[in-house]
Structures are given as structure tokens and as C-alpha cells.
Structure 1
Amino acid sequence: MRARVIVAYMIAFLFVLRVHGQEKPTHYNLAELSKANQLEAYNREVSSFSENGKSGIRFSEKENDGIAWLKGATFSDGIIEVDIKGKDVLQQSFVGVAFHGADDKQFEVIYFRPFNFQAQDSVRRIHAVQYVSLPDFDWQRLRQEQNGKYEKAIGLKVNPNDWFHAKIVVQYPQIQVFINGESKVSLQVEQLSNRRTGKLGLWVGNQSDGDFANLTVVNKKSPAE
């Protein structure tokens, strides 16, 4: 009996080691990736910057969406953490993370509207963080058909012109978003796509520029892989 208990503990210990090994974070130096041409930009110019003790990448401003895919990087389930800086300009600051990408038109996005972070209008405030699954479920369709389900207020005061930290936890089919180290979830939704893995990148929306730094990813293998 004792031998069986010892074996059971050993199996459990090995399982923990295996899972822990899959959860080792990967830190991406975005500025260096940009300089080394390791970002695949779509509909934007992407440049590196280093200022005020922070280094990362900066998107140019342009019509329609823009993406910088990390060459060779894929993401399934896991955790994405990144520092983001938008601006307090109405309808000109949509900044976030694209994942499970098939190409430049098919992917999922968690993005933020900094100009709504501290809006006086209560309706605008609940449009601060958004989930979409493109091309089928864009923000217009989700707001029209399921208003308030896939976009929320962030629940704390964040200067829309300052850096903020986003943590995105993906465990199929659930997605959770946390801001600035808060334990309270800002957005929790279920995925609208059956894609379980794909390309990983940074994203900006129509008429938006944006800065990104300190990207860290914990990539857990999904059961389908």
C-alpha cells in the first residue's frame, strides 16, 4: 500500500514538472526584433524606440487595421502580457494583441480604446476593452447583436495617455483580461472562433498609432496539438 502511495506521489510530481516545463515564459525584446526584421508588418510602418527608460515598437497612424506579427511565433492557450500606450483622441486610439492568426484577415483580438478609459459618458466607458474574432465577429456585429457582452469598462482609473499593462489569459474557450496587475478581471468572454492556435502579433485599429513594450508569453500546448 505504501509503495503504491509513493508511486502515486512520484507520478504527480513528474506531472507537475512536465506542466511547469510547458509554462516557461518567453520574453520578447520588441525593439530588437524590429531592428532584426523579425516582425511582419501589415498596413503599417513599425519602428523601434527607446525613451524614458522604455524600449519597444511604435506603429504609424493609417486608415484600417494594422498588425505586426512576430515571425515564427505561434500561440495556443496561455498568457500574454504586454505594456501598451495609446492616446486620448476620440476614435483614433485602438491598441491591442492579435492571436490565433491564420492570415492578415483571420484572427482574434483583445484591444483597448484608451480614449474611453475615463470618459464622462458612462456608455463610452463600457467600451474600454473589447474582444473580436475576425472576420465574422467584428465590434459592430457584436455590439448590435450582444451589446455589452464582449466589451467592458476596465474598472479602474488609468490615464489614457500613459502606459498600462495588459494581461490576457487564454484557456479555450475562455479569455480573461486583467489591467495593471489587478486581480479583478476587466473582461471575461468565451471565444467565438474554433481556432486553437495561430500567429501572434500586436494590433492597432483604424486611424491609430500605438506603442508596445515588454511582451512576455506563456504558451501552453492545447489538447488539440
Structure 2
Amino acid sequence: MLSKGVITGENRTVRKLNDKAVQLSEAEGYGVAWLHDLRFSDGTIEIDLRGRDVKQGSFLGIAFHGVSKDTCEAIYFRPFNFLATDSAQRSHMVQYVFENQYGWERLRNEHPGVYEGLVSPAINPGAWFHVKIEVKGKVIKVYTTNSNTPCLVVNSLNAFHEGKLGLWVGNTSPGDFANLTVRRK
């Protein structure tokens, strides 16, 4: 779906890696590559992601219910924290945000431990890992590689419940994305 669909990047360029995978470029600020003609409200998003083990240099995930990169919800991962031994870093592996109203810093300060969490079992920070995001009404559940237990469960902070779907990368981060499947309810 990724390499065959039309994708437009906001603050990123998109490069085809193979028939099932694309890479978003590295740049200052965060960016989103939107999938054309794909609107999403409720359902399940599954994708394989590959970041890198570079401290503060690998943030990647999925944007949904989007209007633009500055108005969307996102679930993203910090692979550089996947093998962290510090408990504070370990608790910041997966994050929900609603750009630009509820960024990670505001959510961490106002709701510590609610909109971010730990990924278990541990994942190699430079390897591909599988992500499943279930959106049902206001409830968002996030699962990673072969786990039946969600690593994050949050309530949406977005008043709008439909919008564009895209690939999300954070400040100075590139990202690899493959095998996207979307099941809408």
C-alpha cells in the first residue's frame, strides 16, 4: 500500500525503499507524509516501523484524524529508549500527541504517565518492529510486536473523529515504514 499509493510529505521527502516500504527524510521539526485518498475514523492500523538507536534522533509513528501536520493525532515511538536502563527513559517509549494543542511536553507536564508508556517485551532499537493501533470512538489502544497486551491506552483529545492518515516523524528524525494495512469500521 505504501509504495503504490500517492504520498505527499509535509516537511519531509518520501523515498521508495522497495515494493512495500518507504523512508521519510530527516529534517528540523516534525513531519508527516499523508496517504492520498485515505480518510480514517475508527478501525485498525497496522504497520512495520524501523527507527534508529540515536538518542533524541529517532521519533516515528502514525498520524491520523489529520487536517495538516499541525492538526492531527499521532502515536509515535522513541526507539532510542527501547533498551534504556533508566526507568524514566523506559517510561517514554511510546507517546500519544494531538498536534499542536497537546504536544508531548504539555502532556508529560499536565498528565504524567498517562499519554506515554513502556513497550514490553524489549525491541531492538534499529530493527523493524510491528505496530497495531486500534481506534474505537475516543479510545486508542497501541500494541507492538507479538504482544496481546496494549503498551498504551488513551482517550483521544481531538474533537474531530475523522481525517487524513499519514506517516509521522519527529524533529531531526528519518523513519522507515512498511507493510501498512488499514481496516476501517
Letter in 1 for 2:133: I
* Mapped pair 1:212 → 2:177: yes
Cα distance in 2 between the residues matched to 1:100 and 1:58: 22
What is the RMSD of the two structures over their aligned residues, measured on CA atoms? 1.0
Cα distance in 1 between the residues matched to 2:69 and 2:174: 18
Structure 2: 5+ residue stretches without partners: none
The answer to whether the 8 Å contact 1:62/1:208 transfers is: yes
Percent pairwise identity: 47
- Describe the SS at the equivalent of 2:113: coil
Which deviations, in whole Å up to 9, do the C-alpha atoms of 1:112-162 show, x marking residues without a partner? 000001101110000000000111100000001111110000121110000
Give the 4+ runs in structure 1 shifted more than 3 A. Answer: none
User: In the TM superposition, what is the alpha-carbon distance from 1:179 to its structure 2 partner?
Assistant: 0.4
Structure-to-structure mapping, 1:5-154, within 5 angstroms = 28=1, 30-33=2-5, 38-50=6-18, 55-154=20-119
Larger Rg: 1
Instruction: Report the TM-score, using the length of structure 2 for normalisation.
Output: 0.97
Cα distance in 2 between the residues matched to 1:150 and 1:49: 32
Letter in 1 for 2:67: A
**Structure with bigger RCO (C-alpha 8 Å, 6+ apart):** 2
For this pair of structures, how many residues does the alignment match? Answer: 185
Cα distance in 2 between the residues matched to 1:146 and 1:65: 22
Which deviations, in whole Å up to 9, do the C-alpha atoms of 1:62-81 show, x marking residues without a partner? 10011110011100000000
Cα distance in 1 between the residues matched to 2:158 and 2:3: 31
Instruction: Report the TM-score, using the length of structure 1 for normalisation.
Output: 0.80
Cα distance in 1 between the residues matched to 2:135 and 2:78: 21
Structure 1: 5+ residue stretches without partners: 1-27, 221-225
User: In the TM superposition, what is the alpha-carbon distance from 1:32 to its structure 2 partner?
Assistant: 2.5
Structure-to-structure mapping, 1:136-215, within 5 angstroms = 136-215=101-180
